[in-house]
Structure formats: C-alpha cells, structure tokens
Amino acid sequence: MSSLAIGWVALAAALLLMAGGVPIGVAMGLVSFIGIWAIASDVAAWGMLKAIPYNFAGSWDLTAIPMFLLMGFIAANAGLTAGLFRAMRILLWRLPGGLACASVGACALFSAVSGSSVATAAAMAKITVPEMLRARYQPALATGVVASAGTLGSLIPPSVILVLYGIFAEVSIGALFVAAVIPGLLSALVFMLLIITRVSINPSLAPRTDEHFSRAEKLEAVREVWPLPVLIIGVIGGIMLGIFTPTEAGGVGAFLTLVIAATRGTVNAGMLKRACFQTLASTSSIFILIIGTALLTRLMAMSGVPDMLAEYLLGWGSGPIFAILCATVLYLILGCFLDPIGILMLTLPILLPILREADVNLIWFGILATKLLEIGLVTPPVGLNVYVIKGTLGGLVPLHTIFRGIGGFVAADLVTLTMLIAFPAITLFLPTLMR
C-alpha cells in the first residue's frame, strides 16, 4: 500500500473510531502510530510516540491554556461573575427583549474570563433562563439565546481554541486575541439586533417587564462587576501594547483574578481546590487532543495527503476566497457531529498546507474557523451547547424547544460570518495597531 493510501485509510479509521465513541485524541494518536509504522517502521513509530508528546507537553506557549482556564475557574467559583446578568439587565432592560439582550451581554463578559463556550453556556443558563421564563419569555427564545451567546466563549479572548490554533498554525497568539475582539463584539451586537427585531415584530415572544431600578441598585450593580471589565481590558490591552506576551497574560490574569476575589473575601481553601482541579481536568483533556493532533500532523506530512488535496482543490479554483469557502463547507458539516476542539485538531494538519498554498492570511482564517466552530456548537444533531443547556435546566425546557430556539441565531451567525469573509479588515484592523 502506498503512503498516500495509508494516509487516507488512517483518516477514515480515525473518523470511524470517533463515531464509535473513542475519545478524539486517542483515536488520532492510535491511527497515527499505526500509520507511521506502516509508512516507515516500528522504530520510527515508537520514536515519534516518545518524542512528540514530550516536546508538546513541554511547550512554553501551551502554558497559556491552564493559566487562562484557571483565571476563569477562579472567577466563577469565587462568585465574581454572579452579578453580570443583573448589571446587564439594569443597563438594557428598556430594549425590546431586554432580558434576552442582557443575557447576550452577560455571556460576552463571562466569555472574556472563561475562554470556554461550554462553561459560559452552563454558567449563564442557571442564572438567565429562569429569569426570562419568570418574565413569560417564550422558552425557545430564552434557551436559544443562551445556547447561542454562550458560543462567544470560543471567540472572545482569552480563547483556548485560539491558543491551540496559534500554536499549530505558527501565528501570533497575541495577534489572534486582538483580531478576535471586533468579531466577538460584532457577533454579540448582531445577536442583540436579531432579538430586538424579532420582539418588535412579535412582542409576545418577550413581554416587556415593568422594572425600575433605583440609583442605589445601579451603583451596587456597578460595584459588583467593575473589576471584571477592568481585568479584561488590562489583559487584552497589555497584549496589544506589548507589555506582556499571551502566555504571561494568562499568569497575570489568573493572579489578578485571585487578588480581586481575595479583596472581596471569597477566597478559601475549598474554592481554590475546586478551581485547581477543574483546571487540571480541562487541561489534561486538551493536552491529550494536542498530542493526538501532533502525531496526526506528522503522519499527514509523511503520507502526502495534504499536498494531494491542495493540488486537487487549487485545480478547481484559486485564491483565498475559494480556499475559505471549501474550509467553510467542511467545518459546517463536521460541526454537526464533532466537538469544536476535535474538529480544529482533526482538520488543521490537512487545511494548513492548502491555506498557505492559496496565500490565505492565517490570522484572518483563525477567526473565521473559530466562528465556524461556534456555529457547530449549536447545530443538530450534536449541538454541544444545546445539550449543556438541557443538562443544566433538567426538565424545565424540552430539548426540541432549545433546538428550535437556536435557528434564528444560527442565521445571525451566518450573517456575521459573511461580513467577516467579505470584509477582512474587520478582523485585521486591530492587529495592525499592535506594537
């Protein structure tokens, strides 16, 4: 069997193993080991199995992942994010669908400290959905908005997905973080505009609430949440101004979050233990994926599959837009079946050579890919965020109702994605200002 055939068989075998429930990192690592053995030798396969995990686990850049995760877990466990929805509610209650708009705003702010879409959706669902249901919001809207806005955790920095992409694509993680700011805010704005438009046309979706907040309540809400926006601006601003690297920013962010929690008296041994164990568990699962991807990347390079695909696709068309459209179709299909990090890790070894050959700006593509992965988080039949919302709420809202509620928001995401493809400057403007 030729090297090319071995590469294709390995990809097919990896997909079958994933479909059978084998963890994605394990599936990629296993087929890569066997594929390298078949192409080269058992000595080469064992040598790579020893060297690649060690080299990647020891990468300095990867330390940004546990630090940003720790920052988010400390913030969540110390109660620093509890007042986000209330603050957004006071700010946006006058808008049509004000509670839904407030949910989008709270998700965006929580995303900036969590780095995880699933964590954002789970945390916000507990707080926002019961409030909207009590206000007689349509259940599909109440759950759909949180499932969809929760995906902002993948895009708004600090994002674990952007860190992983930056490492494997060999592009600046700091530039990716800065590039994601405007697309992240744009996504939140488009969600809010969709809510306002739909509720203005059909007020029964979200009846207006007759709420009034005193000056004291408003000041209390500001006092409760002001450290988080300051922390977020400080971390991203420090990266943009070159004060510290993204890896250092993770440590700075985790430390400052701990300091803020300490000044509020919410730090204790139990909280720190929970945050540390959650960080270890999340980091371990991500690192298994990374090692599997590194092995698959080596197998793909040895087999020649990416070169063949590049030659085939570029024979049909040329230029960055054509390559972007091909990647878009692939990501939308895979998004229906696999989790975002798995999709990213599975496709990068194949797509990166094609994108480089087509002269695609890899910072731009990183943001587009993350946006596509966001869409995959809510599209059936998998729709990870939808199942997270269902699991969080229990029997409060049926699963089919949540899936029905995400339809309009997927359309809004596609509009945002189209804007980002048509106008690359939306993504690339801020990185050009970096020192």
pLDDT in tens, 285-301: 888 877 887 788 788 77
Count CB-CB contacts under 10 A for residue 218: 13
User: What pLDDT is stored for residue 182 in this prediction?
Assistant: 94
Instruction: Tell me how far apart the alpha carbons of residues 68 and 55 are, in angstroms, rounded to a whole number.
Output: 21
| pLDDT tens-digit map of 344-361 | 888 888 888 888 888 899
pLDDT-derived band at 189 (thresholds 50, 70, 90) equals very high
Per-residue burial over 183-211, b = 16 or more CB atoms within 10 Å of its CB, e = otherwise: bbebbbebbbebbbebbeeeeebbeebee
pLDDT-derived band at 199 (thresholds 50, 70, 90) equals very high
Candidate from 10-19, 30-39, 197-206 with smallest mean pLDDT: 10-19
- Is the confidence at residue 422, as pLDDT, over 90? yes
Average of per-residue pLDDT across 32-42: 87
User: What pLDDT is stored for residue 77 in this prediction?
Assistant: 81
- Is the confidence at residue 314, as pLDDT, over 70? no
User: What pLDDT is stored for residue 195 in this prediction?
Assistant: 96
The contacts of residue 93 (CB under 8 Å, 6+ apart) are 99, 102, 209, 211, 213
Average of per-residue pLDDT across 305-329: 76
Instruction: Tell me how far apart the alpha carbons of residues 148 and 410 are, in angstroms, rounded to a whole number.
Output: 8
- Residue 108 near residue 152, CB atoms below 8 Å: yes
- Is the confidence at residue 144, as pLDDT, over 90? yes
pLDDT-derived band at 408 (thresholds 50, 70, 90) equals very high
Query: Where is mean pLDDT largest: 15-24, 30-39, 323-332, 408-417?
Result: 408-417
User: What pLDDT is stored for residue 318 in this prediction?
Assistant: 65
State how far the alpha carbon of 263 is from the alpha carbons of 256, 259, 266, in Å.
Answer: 11, 6, 8
Instruction: Tell me how far apart the alpha carbons of residues 51 and 70 are, in angstroms, rounded to a whole number.
Output: 28
Nearest to 308 by CA among 4, 19, 3: 4
- Residue 76 near residue 127, CB atoms below 8 Å: no
pLDDT-derived band at 281 (thresholds 50, 70, 90) equals confident
Count CB-CB contacts under 10 A for residue 227: 18
- Is the confidence at residue 137, as pLDDT, over 90? yes
- Is the confidence at residue 233, as pLDDT, over 90? no
Instruction: Tell me how far apart the alpha carbons of residues 301 and 295 are, in angstroms, rounded to a whole number.
Output: 10
Share of the chain above pLDDT 70, in %: 97
pLDDT-derived band at 143 (thresholds 50, 70, 90) equals very high
- Is the confidence at residue 246, as pLDDT, over 70? yes
pLDDT-derived band at 343 (thresholds 50, 70, 90) equals confident
Instruction: Tell me how far apart the alpha carbons of residues 60 and 167 are, in angstroms, rounded to a whole number.
Output: 10
User: What pLDDT is stored for residue 52 in this prediction?
Assistant: 79
Average of per-residue pLDDT across 71-98: 82
Candidate from 230-244, 306-320, 361-375 with smallest mean pLDDT: 306-320
Residue with the bigger pLDDT between 219 and 37: it is 37
Q: Which pairs from 428-434 meet CB under 8 Å and 24+ separation?
A: 428/179, 428/361, 428/363, 428/364, 429/182, 430/178, 430/179, 430/181, 430/182, 430/240, 431/172, 431/175, 431/178, 431/179, 431/363, 433/178, 433/240, 434/174, 434/175, 434/178, 434/240, 434/242
The contacts of residue 184 (CB under 8 Å, 6+ apart) are 108, 111, 152, 155, 156, 157
